Amino acid sequence: MFRHQGKSRTLKHNLQIASLLSFVAGIVNVSGFLAVQRLTTNITGHFAFFVDEVFKLNFLKSFIYFIYIFCFFLGSFTSSFLIEYMTKKRHHVHVSYLVPVVFESMILLFVSLFGSNLMSYNPEILVFLLLFSMGLQNSLVTKISNATVRTTHLTGLFTDLGIELSQMIFYKQKEQQNVLISTIKLRLTIISFFFFGGLLSGILYSKIKLYTLTLAASLLFIGAIYDDVKFKILQQARKHQK
């Protein structure tokens, strides 16, 4: 699910990565908000607050919101940079897309283990780290799926879903209907897993606080291992066939 691109990428691959990463994003979204009352998976609201604080001449607060936005951007840049760098090193192509996943998993694990200390020292650092990790994830899945899958926020998804459901009324050809059904299925998968991730996070957070993020980190790590092992098994099978 992390390796296929272009024509080799199927709806099944997109559904697999969408379900995993949107579930993780749902966990991070609710855990981060319950911990520090901040949005930790997207920056739309932070941009509005940034502008508001600038107009109020609260430059310190506006700077904090700017750092929120920058951390998400930096995560996106870092993810793309790592993928491009590993791809250029041709003998590392097969792991290039796994590096950001493992990196994100390590950040979430760090926050889960030391989040309480960060909150007592400076809760903003926790927000910085979670936004950076979501920037990593959003860039990764956007690049892999050719912008078909987005997992860290739902605004665009509901927009696309509304458009596609309205098109179902007018586009009656079988081929058009099949395409629309596939994309609607993908949107609903992302929305559902984001919701279930958030719901589970809310339940777990009341009992184990930020250790809830250990689940998200573990799922990412397991997904990366599964993808790598599956790839190696397929490689060996192809060698034996030849």
Q: Identify the residue whose tokens are 């994100």.
A: 104
**What is d(CA 51, CA 54) in angstroms, rounded to the nearest whole number?**
5
pTM here? Answer: 0.93
Task: Determine, yes or no, domain membership for 192.
Answer: yes
Q: Is residue 241 one of the residues assigned to a domain?
A: no
Stretch 100-128: mean pLDDT, rounded?
95
Write out pLDDT tens, residues 117-172. 999 999 999 999 999 999 999 999 998 888 788 888 888 899 999 999 999 999 98
At 36, which CATH number?
1.20.1250
Task: Count CB-CB contacts under 10 A for residue 93.
Answer: 13
Which residue range(s) make up the domain with 103?
10-236
Q: What is the pLDDT of residue 70?
A: 98
Residue 122 lies in a domain: yes
Give 135-161 as a DSSP string. Answer: HHHHHHHHHHTTTS---S-SHHHHHHH
Give the span between the Cα atoms of 83 and 80, in whole angstroms. Answer: 5
Is residue 2 assigned to a domain?
no
If one counts the domains in the chain, the total is 1
* Cα 114 from Cα 2, distance rounded (Å): 29
Sign of CA dihedral 60, 65, 66, 72: positive
Evaluate whether residue 1 is within a structural domain.
no
What six digits make up the tokens of 84? 């491009």
Q: Is residue 132 part of a domain?
A: yes
pLDDT in tens, 199-214: 999 999 999 999 999 9
The answer to whether residue 3 is domain-embedded is no
CB 24 within 8 A of CB 219: yes
Domain-located, residue 38: yes
